[in-house]
A and B are shown apart, each in its own frame.
Chain A
């Protein structure tokens, strides 16, 4: 088989806790020995020894609770973060669609942002201009396209963001919870477009809390819990185990609560 589109090999990511320098340079210098010790010792582990591989044309899901490290994983794939240990290899142009309004500048209009973020994603300016009308049509936000995006609603931002990547022939698409804010009509439009991508062989990494979407979209899924991969495998299998664990946990909590109230 050909090389994988995305490969993570024993990847760990630690953040230093930067609180010691938030006091600024003055504070840092006046408390130098203490500050240096703090920089060395306070590390926070976000991901520990993560390995997975996404094959070309595959849709790979990442599920898990808030704060388990899903977005950090996407950040590593996008190349915005560098791993502390291990290595991340990607083959193909990556279109990140992380959170709302990522890759946009809030003082620019929708139209200007399309050019800016298209070029940042590695396209020629001329190519973006050619596709401009198509992108604007897909957003379906009317005259707002010439307003600065700071006046956009979160739904409009999501529309702009998705239309951007949807129209620009992505090779690897990273999707982080983007669908949660659009209205039903637009969510449907996005799902249709992603299904079309899937058919045409675009590699996708899909982070979502909506298990029905994960089941519909993904071929394989990794479940990240407590900064590690709990399990990975076919979408159906992993989602079932995840939901089961979730049910068990909730049952345990309600049991505890009822015993406490007695």
Chain B
């Protein structure tokens, strides 16, 4: 019974549900998933380019290429504390693999991100740049790495929040800190030597990879290796925590 088609159907139905529940309407949902990172890009552009006068060409494009993938990551992690709570009526009644719920949520955010790539392309065209052929393998590869990383963290946060209901406050703070410690609104080349650890913050290498792939069509093997290492770490830790805690879900919901 628990074969591949079962999982496929389960993932399909739950992802569809996530989309419907979160936005009630997919067209509007698409609009929101683009508006948010664009608004951030606008704010940072004003703050850094116009007011602080950062010395960078095409800064708006630079921002957008980093903010869109970050948006997926941040959306998923910030929604993690409530994803199991929001599905309490299912978890308490039916026995099915619980890890499918966070899986479907991260997948749903990933789909929104993929659908927003044309917006990045549009901005590239405005700045007289064109997509490169390396996207064909680069995008799926980075999608895969980011999915694993996000999913692993989501497993930890979502299950821990059932036992400690104030986890959401900690993830808020954590994600804000992580955002500024990740080279998204500044290039990694501007990081002072004594702060080079910033490059090793969990999402840094991944976000830098996305940006380089979008802007130059290049993939750096070192950055890939670091991101993939973090992904595996996150997935293994997430799996272990989730497996331990998931038996008690129905008791604490």
Contact = CB atoms under 8 A, between A and B. Distances in A.
B166 A102 contact: no
Contacts of B92: 75, 80, 98, 102
A34 interface: no
Contacts of A106: 89
A33 interface: no
A124 B252 contact: no
A28 interface: yes
A79 B91 CA distance: 11
A41 interface: no
B174 interface: no
Given A80-B91, A103-B89, A121-B94, A22 B17 contact: no
Given A24-B166, A25-B164, A107-B21, A119 B13 contact: yes
Interface stretch (A109-117, A184-192, A227-235): A109-117
B interface, size bucket: 20 to 34
A80 B94 contact: yes
B95 interface: yes
A108 B163 contact: no
Interface string A133-175: 0000000000000000000000000000000000000000000
Given A80-B94, A80-B250, A81-B251, A120 B89 contact: no
Nearest to B24: A107
A105 B21 contact: yes
Interface in A61-89: 75, 78-82
B231 to A, nearest CB: 26
A236 interface: no
Contact of B10 (A16, A24, A108, A120): A120
A207 interface: no
Interface of B: 1, 5-6, 9-10, 12-14, 17, 20-21, 24, 87, 89-96, 163-167, 170, 247, 250-252
18 contacts: A22-B165, A24-B164, A24-B166, A25-B167, A25-B170, A79-B95, A102-B89, A103-B89, A103-B93, A104-B89, A104-B90, A105-B87, A112-B20, A116-B14, A119-B9, A119-B10, A119-B13, A122-B1
Interface of A: 15-16, 18, 21-22, 24-26, 28, 75, 78-82, 93-94, 96, 98-99, 101-108, 112, 115-117, 119-122, 124-125
